[in-house]
């Protein structure tokens, strides 16, 4: 692409003009800011040591060299230490001719690197998926698609946290107060039913804590010594010991949850190449801990618990096995990491997990290194900020969460209500409207979440996300439908021409603006993969859709009298629509043919 061509020519200019080879990092080529004339800007200041001249003279000499030696550069202007280059119209015409009909425009060639493993979702089997999981799933799935589009082989994996004290809490509550209720008898999704008993445990446990405090017991002591909590701990020990009735109840309740998860994943458009289960990985983790203990990497305290001392690394001591021999999160994460390495020998292991777990992954990498696992260097944590609602944070154990299913239902109703108020789809059948509301609601949800930089905490507002104007999924979807309408009408009127080629075309300003944005798409997809940020693609797509709408309102398309201009504008519209569709697909968003 043109950026690399400009960079190579700049390096040659410095070499020819000043007889010096400079590091690539000093050759700065960037997009020209909108308020200045030009397409690309060279920052001259880092080159002054080589030229031994002032910034304006240096810029003048390099600008002249670029125009003389690179036919793609038509002119230049200088503003202080910035050299602004204008790209020749023929370059943009050639770009259009070569790419407008490419089905895979923006997709990069497959490389031969080892696969990248991306872990996302990682739910617990004591509750349904909620709004926080929605961001995790959408981010993990989209990043996987973006990496694949950049030429990487990707394995999408999920780790289901299906064992532990939190699972036993919901099991114990159901055993005590469930009266043999099932998803079928309650007419409720299995994950929601189990989640109700996790909330009930917390409620009953708090009542017991309050009673103990009223009897004069210290709050901290009361919190640790309720009969319910002790029973849950006993149940966990019995589970690890393989007690038959505990294992049977665990298997039954988990099967309810898995069925519920599958329904939610399918509706959300999320899938995995492989699912790991903590119940199947924690034993390998315990084995690694025992090996580390023998090697002197870990140490055991008087109560029998096993720890890793990370004080020399600027951290603290980390628990790996409890005194009763039961494992903790870190134990199973060690086992899972080893198992994933054995399965894939990946070039990178990416964990999509909230930023509150930053410390956990720092520790995981350190411990694996201490165990002699050289591949620990390939672990990276794609952390993201929490999703909040306008009324504040959520707490699962208190039931103060927005379930993913309820959220998608609300989004559907918001899409339906907004559309009906605007009278947009009055001519659609009930089935057509239902399909469109689903597409719009999921598009609004996914886009609103993915357009935000992953590392930022965000507030999700369902009503704002369904706006048909502004930086929203429905606005982009509507733009795509508008483009498809233009292409259909052109075909019906026998105006459409396949594989149109333009030469010596005199671009109008709005036409050129769209061409330049389309030219950016392959670069944006590559940057998005490097930064693991779907937000780059989301906001690029909005910018393209917004620019096209301005083009649509300012330029005549189907009624243009000049046949060459009309045919080009139809082809440019189709190119834009195809690119919007490809970009939105990387976000997991469908775009309608009609609206």
**Virtual CA dihedral for 565, 570, 572, 576, nearest 10 degrees?**
160
| pLDDT in the model for residue 16 | 96
Mean local confidence (pLDDT), 163-174? 95
| Strand ranges in 295-384 using DSSP code E only, listed in sequence order | 299-300, 306-309, 317-321, 348-354, 379-384
SS3 state of residue 496: coil
Question: From its phi and psi, is residue 314 left (phi > 0), alpha (psi between -120 and 50) or beta?
Answer: left
pTM equals 0.91
517-to-423, 521, 524, 580 alpha-carbon distances in Å: 32, 7, 10, 11
Q: Is the pLDDT of residue 397 over 70?
A: no
Report the C-alpha gap between 354 and 369 in whole angstroms.
23
Listed range (221-225, 324-328, 378-382, 576-580) with the worst mean pLDDT: 324-328
| Closest among 351, 172, 362, 177 to 249, alpha carbons compared | 172
| pLDDT in the model for residue 393 | 45
Cβ pair 468, 478 in contact under 8 A: yes
CA 9 to chain centre: 36
| pLDDT in the model for residue 594 | 87
pLDDT tens, residue by residue, 30-70 = 999 989 999 999 999 999 999 999 999 999 999 999 999 99
Q: Which CATH number fits domain 2-87: 3.30.1360.70, 3.50.50.60, 3.40.190.10, 3.20.20.140?
A: 3.30.1360.70
SS3 state of residue 87: strand
Mean local confidence (pLDDT), 512-536? 97
pLDDT tens, residue by residue, 215-258 = 999 999 999 999 999 999 999 999 989 999 999 999 999 999 99
Report the C-alpha gap between 354 and 68 in whole angstroms.
52
| Residue 441 token pair | 């609601």
| pLDDT in the model for residue 462 | 80
Q: What is the mean pLDDT of the chain?
A: 93
pLDDT tens, residue by residue, 403-412 = 899 999 989 9
| pLDDT in the model for residue 466 | 84
Q: Where in the chain is the domain with CATH 1.10.730.10?
A: 404-586
Report the C-alpha gap between 458 and 456 in whole angstroms.
6
Phi, psi (degrees; rounded to nearest 5) at 352:
-90, 100
Report the C-alpha gap between 99 and 89 in whole angstroms.
16
| pLDDT in the model for residue 395 | 44
Split at pLDDT 50, 70, 90, the class of 394 is very low
pLDDT tens, residue by residue, 425-462 = 777 888 988 999 999 999 999 999 999 999 999 888 88
Query: How many other CB atoms are there within 10 angstroms of residue 339's CB atom?
Result: 16
Q: Where in the chain is the domain with CATH 3.40.50.620?
A: 120-398
Cβ pair 239, 250 in contact under 8 A: yes
Please tell us whether the domain made up of 120-398 is placed in CATH 3.40.50.620.
yes
Please tell us whether the domain made up of 404-586 is placed in CATH 1.10.730.10.
yes
Q: Is the pLDDT of residue 390 over 80?
A: no
Q: Where in the chain is the domain with CATH 3.30.1360.70?
A: 2-87
DSSP 291-314: HHHHHTSSEE-TTS-EEEE-GGGT
**Virtual CA dihedral for 251, 256, 262, 268, nearest 10 degrees?**
-130
């Amino acid at each position: 692409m043109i950026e690399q061509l400009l960079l190579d020519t700049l390096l040659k200019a410095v070499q020819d003009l000043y007889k010096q080879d400079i590091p690539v990092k000093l050759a700065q080529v960037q997009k020209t800011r909108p308020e200045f004339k030009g397409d690309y800007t060279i920052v001259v200041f880092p080159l002054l040591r080589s030229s031994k001249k002032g910034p304006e003279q240096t810029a003048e000499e390099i600008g002249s060299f670029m125009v003389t030696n690179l036919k793609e550069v038509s002119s230049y202007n200088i503003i202080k230490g910035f050299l602004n280059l204008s790209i020749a119209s023929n370059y943009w015409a050639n770009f259009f001719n070569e790419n407008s009909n490419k089905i895979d425009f923006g997709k990069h060639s497959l490389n031969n690197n080892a696969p990248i493993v991306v872990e996302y979702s990682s739910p617990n089997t004591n509750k349904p998926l909620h709004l926080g999981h929605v961001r995790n799933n959408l981010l993990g799935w989209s990043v996987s698609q973006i990496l694949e589009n950049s030429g990487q082989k990707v394995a999408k994996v999920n780790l289901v946290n299906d064992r532990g004290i939190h699972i036993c809490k919901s099991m114990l509550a159901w055993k005590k107060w469930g009266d043999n209720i099932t998803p079928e008898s309650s007419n409720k999704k299995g994950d929601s039913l189990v989640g109700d008993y996790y909330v009930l445990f917390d409620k009953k446990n708090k009542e017991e804590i309050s009673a103990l405090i009223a009897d004069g017991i210290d709050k901290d002591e009361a919190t640790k010594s309720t009969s319910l909590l002790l029973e849950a701990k006993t149940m966990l020990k019995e589970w690890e010991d393989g007690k038959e009735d505990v294992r049977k109840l665990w298997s039954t309740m988990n099967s309810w949850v898995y069925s519920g998860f599958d329904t939610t994943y399918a509706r959300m458009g999320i899938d995995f190449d492989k699912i790991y289960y903590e119940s199947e990985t924690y034993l390998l983790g315990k084995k690694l801990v025992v090996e580390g203990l023998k090697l002197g990497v870990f140490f055991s305290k008087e109560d029998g618990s096993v720890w890793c001392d990370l004080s020399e690394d600027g951290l603290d001591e980390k628990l790996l096995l409890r005194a009763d021999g039961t494992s903790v999160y870190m134990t199973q994460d060690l086992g899972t990491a080893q198992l994933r390495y054995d399965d894939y020998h990946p070039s990178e292991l990416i964990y999509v997990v909230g930023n509150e777990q930053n410390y956990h992954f720092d520790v995981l990498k350190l411990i694996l290194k201490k165990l002699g696992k050289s591949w620990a260097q390939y672990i990276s944590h794609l952390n993201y900020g929490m999703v909040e609602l306008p009324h504040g944070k959520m707490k699962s154990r208190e039931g103060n969460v927005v379930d993913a299913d309820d959220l998608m239902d609300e989004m559907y109703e918001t899409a339906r209500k907004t559309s009906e108020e605007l009278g947009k789809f009055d001519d659609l059948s009930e089935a057509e409207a239902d399909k469109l509301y689903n597409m719009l609601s999921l598009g609004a949800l996914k886009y609103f979440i993915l357009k935000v930089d992953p590392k930022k905490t965000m507030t999700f507002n369902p009503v704002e996300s369904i706006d048909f104007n502004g930086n929203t999924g429905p606005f982009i979807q509507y733009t795509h439908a508008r483009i498809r309408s233009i292409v259909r009408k052109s075909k019906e009127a026998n105006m459409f021409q396949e594989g149109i080629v333009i030469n010596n075309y005199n671009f109008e300003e709005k036409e050129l603006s769209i061409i330049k944005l389309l030219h950016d798409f392959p670069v944006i997809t590559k940057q998005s993969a490097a930064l693991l940020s779907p937000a780059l693609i989301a906001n690029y797509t909005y910018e393209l859709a917004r620019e096209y709408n301005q083009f649509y309102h300012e330029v005549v398309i189907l009624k243009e009298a000049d046949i060459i201009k009309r045919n080009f504008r139809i082809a440019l519209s189709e190119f834009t629509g195809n690119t919007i569709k490809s970009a939105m697909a990387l976000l997991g968003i469908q775009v309608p043919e009609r609206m």
